[in-house]
Amino acid sequence: MDLRLSDEQQMIQETVRKIMEEKVAPRATEIDEKAELPMDVVELFQENQIFSLVAPQEYGGLDGQLLTLCVAIEEVSRVCGSSSMILGNQSLGAGPIVLWGNEAQKDKYLPGIAAGEIMASFALTEPNAGSDVGGIQAKAVLKGNSYIINGNKCFITHADIADVFTVFAKVAVDGKDKITAFLVDAKTPGISIGKKERKMGLRGSSTCSMNFEEVEVPAENMLGNIGDGYRIALDCLDKGRIMTGSMAVGIAQGAMEAAIDFATTRYQFGQPISDNQGIQFMLADMATEIEVARAMIRTAAWNHDNHTPDMVKFSAMSKLYATDMVMRATTDAVQIMGGYGYCKDYPVERMMRDAKIFAIFEGANQIQRLVVARSLLK
């Protein structure tokens, strides 16, 4: 396994970093405070072909490598967690089509998703089914050549701007409910977007509830077959978890850089606070844990790109480690910056708030531990 970045990956890393520092860093505080999805960042990603990272080459994507996407996402979240959700959610939304779509479905959606002309979202969670995916209650019933979907979803990222959703619903076959995934165009009558959550962090990323009332979806929009939905959801989450981990690494990196800048220029007792070993040890631990997490994410992405049997375990382990790590790193960054770290003039209080969600979504970290333990004990 060679985890060194190729020349092209390094070029993408540098390009995304430059764009983020020039165009988004000056807006990051405002994006958080306004708590509105920054459509100018969506346009920026469109103009710079950044969405091409989420699709395979043959459908307008760049190289189709999860590793490349993770490298780019890290650069986005290093500056702005909310903006990293724009790219991350486009990848999560594209996932079911990339991994399970037939040729017609891929041809219809992926080039537009890669261009950022079609925004995609992933609608799995329901008010009574979060970690327990099998507990979803949305129903799809066959009527002629269509399925009629009824149900409620919650916490759906960017539902308010999505053009297409993968919706998970149960189809009854011989008295058994089978989770099934459908591609649903957002303009289909019967879909309504409900409450937009007011969140602790990632406030520039919208999170909405959705209602499906008699929503008619052509049968050809089914992904895979009846009953494949559970497998589709898990396959997408296995991929999404690695990406989530890379968002966490980026935020931790941004927080550490801010803490170093501060520690070397803040004087107390006649010397920079960075001259104190107590501060140096916090920075050293932070840097070490960030490198461990980055290496785990790249290992997991390599396993995903190479379809190895260890992919599921590495995906869960890397998400678990990176997303617990980012909470420690951002908390310590605030600590190093003292009262200034706690205030909004510096980015680390935003980063600490943004960091919390990563241990919750794409499968809470308790669930990641179950996945890792199962892979050890099977």
List residues binding ligand FAD (CB under 6 A).
121-125, 130-131, 155-157, 199, 202, 207, 357, 360-361, 363-364, 366-367
Question: Looking at beta carbons, which residue is closest to ligand FAD?
Answer: 130
How are beta strands 191-196 and 176-185 bridged, if at all?
unpaired
Smaller CB separation from ligand FAD, 106 or 203: 203
Give Rg (Cα) of the chain: 21
Q: Hey, what are 174's tokens? A: 């011989």
Smaller CB separation from ligand FAD, 141 or 360: 360
How near is the Cβ of 289 to ligand FAD at its closest, in Å?
22
Smaller CB separation from ligand FAD, 229 or 341: 229
d(CA 248, CA 254): 10
- Closest to 327 (Cα-Cα) out of 305, 350, 353: 353
Dihedral angle, C-alpha 228, 230, 236, 237, nearest 10 °: -170
d(CA 310, CA 29): 39
Q: Hey, what are 214's tokens? A: 């008699």
The stretches of 80-159 forming alpha helices (DSSP H) are 81-100, 103-115
d(CA 249, CA 247): 5
How near is the Cβ of 229 to ligand FAD at its closest, in Å?
12
> Bridge-partner residues for 140, per DSSP?
149
Smaller CB separation from ligand FAD, 130 or 204: 130
Smaller CB separation from ligand FAD, 73 or 259: 73
How near is the Cβ of 338 to ligand FAD at its closest, in Å?
29
CB-based contact 359:365 (threshold 8 Å): yes
> Bridge-partner residues for 142, per DSSP?
147
CA angle 23, 26, 30 (to 5 degrees): 115
d(CA 84, CA 64): 18
Q: How many CA atoms lie within 13 A of 105 on its CB side?
A: 24
How near is the Cβ of 367 to ligand FAD at its closest, in Å?
6
How near is the Cβ of 242 to ligand FAD at its closest, in Å?
15
- Is 197 among the catalytic positions? no
How near is the Cβ of 241 to ligand FAD at its closest, in Å?
11
Smaller CB separation from ligand FAD, 183 or 202: 202
Give 304's contacts (C-beta < 8 A, 6+ positions apart). Answer: 66, 238, 239, 242, 311, 314, 315
Which residues does the annotation mark as catalytic? 362
